[in-house]
Amino acid sequence: SQQGEEDPQALSIQEGENATMNCSYKTSINNLQWYRQNSGRGLVHLILIRSNEREKHSGRLRVTLDTSKKSSSLLITASRAADTASYFCATGTGANNLFFGTGTRLTVIP
């Protein structure tokens, strides 16, 4: 079974709006990573946040982590049509063994 669950499963917004996706996981983690996947393509790494970090920024991305609630959120600000993709959170304990969530399908309407 998968470690994480993303919420919502699908999200549709207008270009320029912000998009927020949430991820919940079940066990203790060392870090959590967010990935983007365009249809039929590989996974693109977005951001890694360690268990002792609470917030991290990268360009238009902001990730938060609440280990007490076993949850993380990904915020994409000022969305663009090119942000249309599926977004996955993945938790890891090392050894490249990642457990992925079910993903959020984001559609940004131009």
What's the gap between Cα 101 and its chain centre? 9
Q: Which of 12, 30, 58, 81 binds another protein (CB under 8 A)?
A: 30
With CB under 8 A as the contact rule, the residue among 19, 23, 25, 33 that binds another protein is 33
Give CA–CA dist 109/63, Å, rounded.
23
59 binds another protein (CB under 8 A): no
Rg (CA), the chain: 13
Q: Burial-class residue 110 by CB neighbours within 10 Å (0-12, 13-18, 19+).
A: exposed
User: Please, which residue, 14 or 52, has the CB nearer to another protein?
Assistant: 52
2: burial class by Cβ within 10 Å (0-12, 13-18, 19+)? Answer: middle
Output 27 or 97, the one with its CB closest to another protein. Answer: 97
Of the candidate spans 12-20, 34-42, 60-68, 71-79, the one that interacts with another protein by CB under 8 A turns out to be 34-42
Give the binding site for another protein (CB under 8 A): 2, 30-31, 33, 35, 40-45, 48, 50, 88, 90, 92-103
